Amino acid sequence: MTKTKSTSITIRDVAREAGVSVATVSRYLNQNASVSPEVVARLETVMAELNYAPHATARKLATHKTYTIGLLLTDIHGDFFAPLFSGIESVTSENGFDLLISTRQPERRKGTSHPLGPHNTDGLLIFADSLDVQGLTQLHTKGFPMVLIHQSPPEPLEIPCVTVENKAASRKIVEHLIEVHRKRHIVFLSGPQEQEDSRWRELGYRQALNTHGIPFDPDLVVPGEFDRNVAQTSIRNLINHRVRFDAVFSGDDEAAVGVLSALHEAGILIPDDVSVVGFDDQRMSPYLTPPLTTVRAPTEEVGREAARQLIRFIHGQELTPLTLLPTEIVIRRSCGCA
């Protein structure tokens, strides 16, 4: 058998050479019905010999699927998102799906339709707060496959969610500052107000203070927004207003960069004068000065598991309502440990 250019080969040619019906070839290509292993082997041999590649557009028309997954985000800045993208893309490509990414700030999403949805994707991965309750409700009513990342579904919607354990790890890292390094005036840099991760981390912070009999001081909770520039400004303001503090839980590692910068420029020694800890264990964190003590969150695995859940949803398989991935403390020098 001589190889021909794939553009001149049709599904009928494959069926004829393999000695099966066109319907059998179609079932194999679209994976919408079982085909025996013997026939599968024969079809794959024939397609390789004929250099046949199914036309993507024809496949989509035949199955009413786009073979595309959408990812909605409010932002893609900072080092946090690279491992998340990597985890998602590894699963989507492995399963034959393309990935479309759209970003839009919360203030711009109201009253406008989103560029991703049932018209151009088979399902959506929705990062925290990138689609409002109205948008989630509309898609959920249609039965459109969705998986939330770092966000619980609003009541009463039943939408699968993949996130990390925030509260216990936050409590543990603040307790490390209190128990090991004798810190009593600990700043917490909060994330965006609507961000669920930030709320859980603040709860862990408050629990640690309460457990050790340290009064909660609202003056020590300042904006960080998971943003290094906002965090830097907040720490500068505390220093300028002579607010007493001996440690900072920065809320996330991105904000920790701004914290370190503000302390360095003020001549405050880290960790001798002020200890600093973060959350996420981003790729840059071991290389900061000093290396950052933080909470390691499995961000890449969050991406992988969210993509797996969505593909199961698309295929009508059983889902896990909540996937809560474990976190762990990583001790480096910024807290005061050698």
Q: State the pLDDT at residue 203.
A: 98
- Type of residue found at 1: M
Question: Is the pLDDT at 89 greater than 60, yes or no?
Answer: yes
Q: Please write the tens of the pLDDT for every residue from 261-310.
A: 999 999 999 999 999 999 999 999 999 999 999 999 999 999 999 999 99
pTM above 0.95, yes or no: no
Q: Give the β-pairing of 123-127 and 146-149.
A: parallel
Boundary of a domain, candidates 63, 91, 111: 63
Q: State the pLDDT at residue 265.
A: 97
- 201 and 293 together in one domain: yes
- 227 and 191 together in one domain: yes
Query: In the chain, which ranges are continuous DSSP H helix?
Result: 11-18, 22-30, 37-50, 56-63, 81-94, 106-109, 133-141, 167-179, 196-211, 228-240, 253-265, 299-314
- 84 and 204 together in one domain: no
334 domain-assigned: no
Tokens of 108: 């711009």
Instruction: Enumerate residues 6+ apart whose C-beta is below 8 A from 208.
Output: 170, 171, 172, 174, 175, 178
Q: State the pLDDT at residue 30.
A: 66
333 domain-assigned: no
Q: State the pLDDT at residue 231.
A: 98
Q: Closest by alpha carbon to 129, among 107, 156, 113, 98?
A: 107
The mean per-residue pLDDT over the stretch 302-324 comes to 95
Q: State the pLDDT at residue 36.
A: 84
Question: With pLDDT > 70 as the criterion, what percentage of the chain qualifies?
Answer: 90
Q: State the pLDDT at residue 4.
A: 44
CA distance 80 to 304: 15
Query: Residue 289 — φ and ψ, nearest 5°?
Result: -120, 110
Residue 14 pLDDT class (50, 70, 90 cuts): confident
- Give the three-state DSSP class for 302: helix
Q: How far is CA 240 from the centre of its chain?
A: 36
- 318 and 227 together in one domain: no
Q: State the pLDDT at residue 48.
A: 83
Instruction: Count Cβ atoms below 10 Å from residue 240 Cβ, excluding itself.
Output: 9
Q: State the pLDDT at residue 273.
A: 98
Query: Residue 30 — φ and ψ, nearest 5°?
Result: -90, -10
CA distance 279 to 334: 13
- 11 and 44 together in one domain: yes
Q: Please write the tens of the pLDDT for every residue from 106-141.
A: 655 554 567 888 889 999 999 999 999 999 999 999
Whether residue 299 contacts residue 80, with contact meaning beta carbons closer than 8 Å, is answered with yes
Count of domains observed in the chain: 3
- Give the three-state DSSP class for 280: strand
The mean per-residue pLDDT over the stretch 308-320 comes to 94
Q: Please write the tens of the pLDDT for every residue from 204-249.
A: 999 999 999 999 999 999 999 999 999 999 999 999 999 999 999 9
- 83 and 43 together in one domain: no
284 domain-assigned: yes
CA distance 196 to 187: 19
Tokens of 182: 């004798």
Q: State the pLDDT at residue 64.
A: 62
Boundary of a domain, candidates 63, 85, 110: 63
For residues 311 and 8, the model is more confident at 311
Average pLDDT, the chain: 90
338 domain-assigned: no
Question: With pLDDT > 90 as the criterion, what percentage of the chain qualifies?
Answer: 72
For residues 56 and 178, the model is more confident at 178
- 93 and 148 together in one domain: yes
Instruction: Examine residue 215 and say whether the peptide bond preceding it is cis (omega within 30 degrees of 0).
Output: no
Question: Is the pLDDT at 1 greater than 50, yes or no?
Answer: no
Query: Residue 127 — φ and ψ, nearest 5°?
Result: -75, 155
- 303 and 159 together in one domain: yes
Work out the angle at residue 81's Cα, subtended by the Cα atoms of residues 236 and 261, and round it to the nearest 5 degrees: 20
The mean per-residue pLDDT over the stretch 197-208 comes to 98
Q: Which residues pair with 72 in a beta bridge?
A: 102, 126
Print the domain residue range for 54.
Answer: 6-63
